Amino acid sequence: MIARTLFIPVVLLLVLTFLIGPFLIIVAASFSAGETLAFPPQGFSLQWIFKVFTVDSFRASFATSMLLAVGGTAAALLLGIPASYALSRYTLPGAEIVRTVVSAPIIVPGIIVGLALLRYIVVPMQASMTLILFLAHTALVLPYAVRVVSASLENLRSDIEEAAVLLGSSRLGAFFRVVLPNIRGGILSAFILGFVTSFNQVPLSLFLSAPGVRTLPVDMMAYMEIVFDPSVAALSSLLAFLSIGIVFAAERFLGFSRYV
Amino acid sequence: MFQNRAEAFALALPAALFVTLVFLVPVVALLSEGFHLNGSWTISAYVDFFSSSLNQAVFWRTLKLGAIVTVVSAVIGYAAAFAIVGLSPTAKGRVTGLVMMPLMISPVARTYAWIVILGRTGIVNEALHAIGLTDAPLRILFSETAIFIGLLQLFLPLMIISLISALENMPRDAVPAARVLGANWFQVFWKVILPLTREGLVVGGTLVFTGSLTAYITPAILGGSKVLMLETLMYQQVSVSNNFVAASVIACILIVMSFAANILLKRVATARNKIRREGAAA
């Protein structure tokens, strides 16, 4: 009996320490006054938190990552919402093929996609790296967009839009006035999931970098190979709090986890 | 259900076309590079790849780490999922949230933390030195152990979450019934819980195994340039040796292994279900 009452707290303590402890160490290390990354931190200062904002390459790559995450996810939703609607409301011949094709980018490792795009689009077509990164991130997010939006369409009874059409609304009008307002939560959840996925993505963007064009996580990995100061820790903590904040707010206001 | 085919195609076509052009065509072209040398179709690139002992070592290390991480995460995952399922509903929600929290944090940040913990002047080495167990710092970083720890931390949440839902879907009285009928805890796990949660285990296992096989960030940061896995080897082949044929071979191996793992595990799940259903019918 004692063994069983102890089991739950001990297991939870160990597992949560393993999962979250390293992150807390990173947070603590970012407030260090020392010159090198160490734990326990030597003294307390905010210098590394401030330094993050002064590193030019971080500022540029943060802007690139933001642009890709927001723009790529928006583009994926523009492609994904109509596709999800076709898959869930129409008898589409070859629906299984469409579903498989659209969700394929999730299955193939990102590094392979990145190299394929570099070899077969960037080099032969002399395409702009930012544009290719944008297309790559759109393809990456599309499967998530289709999955989450399809799930919320499945949860919406299709007879309400049929009713709207019978009552004289056009099909397009029924979609914008009846369907869209009802799947708003799902679309926002898809946006958040897509944003976090795109923003944290490394292997896909690894080969897709040009002078001055790089995503933030790839830039961080390059930086930490050269400099061993706590600024990467400080940046990691800031980013982590940003994404935890976004997801927490989404859960609070949208019930994010219902869709994911 | 609407029947208008033209409309349906018009809605689905842009997404399908986009993925075909931006994703399928370039990836297929890259994969074909490894089979097409000097104007003829051949598998000699694959023979070359596997004749190198370095490549063989990387291949087996990737499989081995994937398997070990999957098994260990299943063992820890069951213990953790049990503990979480036994909590009150409020506590369960909070702890599940904490388990999922790392999934929202950048894998670069999560992996970076292990440098602080496992490095030469990291917490582990300082602690070992302080209590007098070691004289010189142990070399934990840039080893298979470091990669194993990093991968386990990265993928354990996926296993725990799959197992929580599997355990919750289990009939409530299955375990007490087995206990009343005299089964010990080992038998309860092996004969009741494991068969009833097999699907969740397979889902979690597939995610962890394929995730570990195709990991890049963890071996890049915690394995260094010496202890390679398939993806870091692929990166090296391109960026250091400019060897696109080898990169194409590795890409193909990675895709085949991921698909094989998916299919195999799906088979395992459905085969067991069939046995269970037939058993129930009899």
Largest CA distance in chain B: 77
**How much is the average pLDDT of B18-33?**
95
Percentage of chain B lying above the pLDDT 90 cut: 58
Q: With respect to residue B119, please indicate whether it lies within any of the assigned structural domains.
A: yes
Q: Work out how many CB contacts closer than 8 A connect A with B.
A: 237
Q: Structurally, how many domains does chain A consist of? A: 1
CA-nearest residue to A76 within chain B is B15
Q: With respect to residue A73, please indicate whether it lies within any of the assigned structural domains.
A: yes
Q: Do B104 and A196 touch (CB under 8 A)?
A: yes
The CA-atom distances, in angstroms, between A32 and each of A39, A223, A231, A239 are 9, 18, 10, 18
CA-nearest of B143, B105, B121 to B225 is B143
Q: Do B16 and A158 touch (CB under 8 A)?
A: no
Q: With respect to residue B33, please indicate whether it lies within any of the assigned structural domains.
A: no
Q: With respect to residue B14, please indicate whether it lies within any of the assigned structural domains.
A: no
Q: What is the model's pLDDT at position B282?
A: 45
Q: What is the model's pLDDT at position A124?
A: 92
pTM score, two decimals? 0.90
Q: With respect to residue A143, please indicate whether it lies within any of the assigned structural domains.
A: yes
CA-nearest residue to B239 within chain A is A207
**What pairs with residue A210 in β-bridges?**
A213
Structural domain for A206, as ranges:
55-227+234-258
What would the DSSP string read from start to end of A7-20? Answer: HHHHHHHHHHHHHH
| pLDDT higher than 60, residue B185 | yes
Q: With respect to residue A50, please indicate whether it lies within any of the assigned structural domains.
A: no
Q: Radius of gyration over alpha carbons of chain B, in Å?
A: 23
Q: With respect to residue B59, please indicate whether it lies within any of the assigned structural domains.
A: yes
Q: With respect to residue A49, please indicate whether it lies within any of the assigned structural domains.
A: no
**How much is the average pLDDT of B227-234?**
96
Q: What is the ipTM of this complex?
A: 0.89
Q: What is the model's pLDDT at position A128?
A: 92
SS3 of A140-160: the string is HHHHHHHHHHHHHHHCCCCHH
| pLDDT higher than 70, residue B275 | no
Q: Do B109 and A237 touch (CB under 8 A)?
A: yes
Element housing B40 (H / E)? strand B40-41
Q: What is the model's pLDDT at position A3?
A: 63
Chain B residues with CB-CB distance to A110 below 8 A: 216
Q: What angle do CA B212, A108, B152 make, to 5 degrees?
A: 15
Mean pLDDT over the full length of chain B: 89
CA-nearest residue to B255 within chain A is A108
- Cα B236 off chain centre by: 22
Q: With respect to residue B30, please indicate whether it lies within any of the assigned structural domains.
A: no
The pLDDT tens digits of the residues spanning B210-225 come to 999 999 999 999 998 8
CA-nearest residue to A122 within chain B is B26
Bigger pLDDT: B269 vs A6: A6
**b/e burial code for range A132-148 (CB count within 10 A of at least 16 → b):** bbbbbbbbbbbbbbbbb
Determine contact: B112 vs chain A, CB below 8 A. yes
Percentage of chain A lying above the pLDDT 90 cut: 50
CA-nearest residue to A139 within chain B is B19
pLDDT band at residue A4 under the 50/70/90 scheme: low
| pLDDT higher than 60, residue A57 | yes
Q: Structurally, how many domains does chain B consist of? A: 1
Q: What is the model's pLDDT at position B143?
A: 93
CATH code, domain carrying B228: 1.10.3720.10
CA-nearest of B89, B99, B107, B65 to B168 is B89
DSSP state of B34: T
CB B141 within 8 A of CB B115: yes
Name which of B20, B104, B152 is nearest A101 (Cβ-Cβ).
B20
Q: What is the model's pLDDT at position B268?
A: 75
The pLDDT tens digits of the residues spanning B62-74 come to 999 999 999 999 9
Q: With respect to residue B61, please indicate whether it lies within any of the assigned structural domains.
A: yes
CATH code, domain carrying A245: 1.10.3720.10
CB A216 within 8 A of CB A58: yes
Chain A residues with CB-CB distance to B184 below 8 A: none
Chain B residues with CB-CB distance to A221 below 8 A: 108, 217, 220-221
Determine contact: B177 vs chain A, CB below 8 A. no
Residue A217, C-beta contacts closer than 8 angstroms, at least 6 positions apart: A65, A199, A200, A201, A202, A205, B106, B107, B108
Cα(A160)–Cα(A183) distance, integer angstroms: 13
Helix-, strand-, coil-residue percentages of chain B, each rounded to 5: 80, 0, 20
Mean pLDDT over the full length of chain A: 89
Q: With respect to residue B2, please indicate whether it lies within any of the assigned structural domains.
A: no
Q: Do B102 and A105 touch (CB under 8 A)?
A: no
CB A259 within 8 A of CB A67: no
Q: What is the model's pLDDT at position A79?
A: 97
Of the residues A61, A66, A87, A108, the best mutation for testing chain B's interface (the one with the most B CB atoms within 10 Å of its CB) is A108
> How far apart are the CA of A68 and the nearest CA of chain B, in angstroms?
16
CA-nearest of A238, A254, A252 to A58 is A238
Element housing B147 (H / E)? helix B144-168
> How far apart are the CA of A244 and the nearest CA of chain B, in angstroms?
6
Q: With respect to residue A36, please indicate whether it lies within any of the assigned structural domains.
A: no
Q: Do B15 and A217 touch (CB under 8 A)?
A: no
Count CB atoms within 10 A of the CB of residue A79: 24
Out of A56-70, B74-88, B93-107, least confident range? B93-107
Structural domain for B266, as ranges:
44-281
Percentage of chain A lying above the pLDDT 70 cut: 96
Q: Radius of gyration over alpha carbons of chain A, in Å?
A: 23
Provide the angle, in degrees to the nearest 10, between the axes of the packed helices B107-118 and A2-29. Answer: 100
Cα(B152)–Cα(B71) distance, integer angstroms: 10
Q: Do B95 and A16 touch (CB under 8 A)?
A: yes
